[in-house]
């Protein structure tokens, strides 16, 4: 008996959101999407009961905008367990160790059940060290004394809350994928990053330069900022660019233009219908063919590495060559070099934001670039193969639709060979390009200190969401098109 036969009775009976029977009207999809989004914002503002907020810090730090959720809330874990579980499945599926055929309904149910089991396991593997070991979520001593359960009892309550939030987020994502528009994970990332972008423009509390972009400009215009260097000097230009937020605004705009342009760059393979004369179409192979979503997997892997270092440092301690920590952040050792470049202060040593030597910063930048470019390309390949976007799966879809490539025989192998000229090369190039853009955006800074990966994901997901909404509206207006694309009742 194989592992599928042994695990199928359990995996196929995992709780799941029921699929809709037939077509879901566009308006109903929007209602489900908006409802889940409102619930997400509500949960990110529900503070953990029993948490000592004054003594807790955010373990994910700069990864927070990417992993969504909220520090000290029910959604403390964010989409981290979901993404980590997806990484494991991507690796197992890419190595063909699962032996599952996602076209088979039974294997598909086993795959989805296995994903839920992995996500639940990641909820425990991430939440338990966060609550019981690293002191990242510290219990309120006053509540422990009043309840008479001690600190351990309050820690159990904290873990129960964040575990429930992590599992609830899994089903919220499933509701979006089956009843809503787009992807739940993508929607949560867009919501979190957009919130930080708006705050980066309009945040009025605090003093210059720790305000939003517009309040900072108002402070400069009204002369309420003292000790401004002459604007025509090098110090003045640097002050306006960095302290005034101009560099972040330029970087945000350039990343937006680059992603939108890259989404429009494509190689179009002509298609014609084998039986309907005159029926023609094109199959687009975009420059960012695998989308920006594989970057979540790369950054989540980096987040897990940093998470491991922080846990080891706070529990057993680390030798100096492995990691030196200050206020929970690696400032030396291997874990320092594996830490991503979060912002300008991490590498602009002349600003006084880091005490590292220039050669140490150069090594860290080189490691981050290598990790993101190579990792982006590798995970893009895995993403394409496991989501049926590879040459073989795409050729099968084209043939099943009755289309063929003009000038070539109507043969599955021929179509696959034509697609192999473009898809693998474009996948690698697009994944590497996205990784490079993410690192550059982090190094130059963005509005609201949004990470480069988070900004890339937000722009790309919003662009694809716009395309999907336009497609849904078109199918709603023309039901025959829904039948042609396989979305009939």
pLDDT mean by block of 10 residues, the chain; 489 residues: 78 86 85 93 90 66 72 88 81 72 77 89 89 79 86 92 94 91 86 85 78 84 76 77 85 88 84 69 83 80 85 83 83 90 81 80 93 91 82 84 76 85 91 90 84 82 83 65 47
Do the beta carbons of residue 212 and residue 199 sit within 8 Å? Answer: yes
Q: Answer whether 3-11+25-180 and 236-461 agree in fold.
A: yes
CA distance 82 to 77: 10
Do the beta carbons of residue 152 and residue 118 sit within 8 Å? Answer: no
| Nearest in space to 372 (alpha carbons), one of 338, 330, 326, 324 | 338
pLDDT score of 197: 87
| Nearest in space to 191 (alpha carbons), one of 65, 31, 28 | 65
pLDDT score of 279: 64
| Nearest in space to 2 (alpha carbons), one of 121, 102, 100 | 100
φ/ψ (deg, to 5) at 409:
-65, 150
Domain chopping of the chain, boundaries? 3-11+25-180, 236-461
1.10.645.10, 2.60.120.650, 1.25.40.10, 1.10.3370.10: CATH of 236-461: 1.10.3370.10
Q: Which residue has the tokens 């008996």?
A: 1
pLDDT score of 163: 94
CA distance 191 to 309: 29
Q: In this structure, what is the dihedral angle of CA atoms 437, 441, 442, 448, given to the nearest 10 degrees?
A: -140
3.40.50.880, 1.10.10.10, 1.10.3370.10, 3.20.20.370: CATH of 3-11+25-180: 1.10.3370.10
CA distance 403 to 395: 10
Two tokens, residue 59: 């373990």
What kind and span of H or E run contains 159?
helix 150-179
Q: 278 preceded by cis ω (within 30°)?
A: no
């Amino acid at each position: 008996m194989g592992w599928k036969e042994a695990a199928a009775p359990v995996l196929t009976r995992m709780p799941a959101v029921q699929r809709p029977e037939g077509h879901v009207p566009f308006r109903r999809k929007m209602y489900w999407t908006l409802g889940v989004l409102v619930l997400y914002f509500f949960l990110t503002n529900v503070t953990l009961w029993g948490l000592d907020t004054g003594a807790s810090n955010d373990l994910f730090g700069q990864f927070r905008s990417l992993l969504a959720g909220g520090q000290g809330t029910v959604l403390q874990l964010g989409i981290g367990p979901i993404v980590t579980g997806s990484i494991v499945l991507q690796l197992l599926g890419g190595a063909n160790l699962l032996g599952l055929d996602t076209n088979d309904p039974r294997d598909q149910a086993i795959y989805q059940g296995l994903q839920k089991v992995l996500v639940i396991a990641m909820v425990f593997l991430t939440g338990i060290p966060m609550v019981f070991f690293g002191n990242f979520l510290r219990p309120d001593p006053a509540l422990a004394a009043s309840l008479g359960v001690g600190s351990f009892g309050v820690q159990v309550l904290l873990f129960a809350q964040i575990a429930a939030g992590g599992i609830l987020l899994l089903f919220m994502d499933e509701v979006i994928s089956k009843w809503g528009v787009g992807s739940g994970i993508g929607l949560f990332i867009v919501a979190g990053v957009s919130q930080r972008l708006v705050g980066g423009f309009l945040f009025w509390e605090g003093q210059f330069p720790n305000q939003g972009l517009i309040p900072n400009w108002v402070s400069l215009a009204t002369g309420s900022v003292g000790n401004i260097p002459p604007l025509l000097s090098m110090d003045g230009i640097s002050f306006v660019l960095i302290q005034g937020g101009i560099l972040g605004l330029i970087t945000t705009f350039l990343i937006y233009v680059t992603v939108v342009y890259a989404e429009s760059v494509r190689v179009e393979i002509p298609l014609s219908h084998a039986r309907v004369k005159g029926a023609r179409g094109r199959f687009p192979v975009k420059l960012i063919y695998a989308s920006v979503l594989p970057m979540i997997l790369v950054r989540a892997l980096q987040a897990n590495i940093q998470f491991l270092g922080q846990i080891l440092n706070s529990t057993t301690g680390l030798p100096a060559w492995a990691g030196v920590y200050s206020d929970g952040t690696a400032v030396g050792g291997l874990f320092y070099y594996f830490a991503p470049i979060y912002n300008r202060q991490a590498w602009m040593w002349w600003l006084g934001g880091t005490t590292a030597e220039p050669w140490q910063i150069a090594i860290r930048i080189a490691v981050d670039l290598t990790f993101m470019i190579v990792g982006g390309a590798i995970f893009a390949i895995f993403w394409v193969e496991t989501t049926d976007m590879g040459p073989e799966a795409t050729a099968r879809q084209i043939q099943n639709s009755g289309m063929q490539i003009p000038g070539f025989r109507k043969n599955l192998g021929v179509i696959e060979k034509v697609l192999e000229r473009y898809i693998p090369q474009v996948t690698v190039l697009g994944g590497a390009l996205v990784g490079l853009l993410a690192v550059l955006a982090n190094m130059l800074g963005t509005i609201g200190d949004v990470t480069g990966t988070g900004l890339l994901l937000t722009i790309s997901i919003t662009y694809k969401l716009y395309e999907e909404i336009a497609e849904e509206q078109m199918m709603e207006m023309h039901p025959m098109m829904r039948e042609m694309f396989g979305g009939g009742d």
